Amino acid sequence: MGYDRYPECLVDEKTQFLADKMARGMRLFFTHGPDCALADVARDKYHTANEQPKLELAQIRGPTNL
């Protein structure tokens, strides 16, 4: 379990983090979320959009002569 040592800075840090991810079109992974595994960041008090409830193993194509 962790504690925020400077909770007054946390809101500003999260706001900057989410603004950066949204500007770059990145998606967020939620490793402990039971209902959402992957989502886009949306700007309405920073909520998620295009939630994906689970991830499936995808085939990765690579060199065939390994």
- CA pseudo-torsion sign 18, 5, 35, 53: positive
Rounded percentage of the chain residues whose pLDDT exceeds 70: 77
State how many domains the chain has. Answer: 1
Task: Quick: pLDDT tens for 31-43.
Answer: 887 888 888 888 7
HEC letters along the chain: CCCCCCHHHHHHHHHHHHHHHHHCCCEEECCCCCCCCEEEEECCCCEEEEEECCCCCCCCCCCCCC
In a domain, residue 40? The reply is yes
Residue 2 lies in a domain: no
- Asked if the structure places residue 5 within a domain, the reply is no
At 45, the pLDDT band (50, 70, 90 cuts) reads low
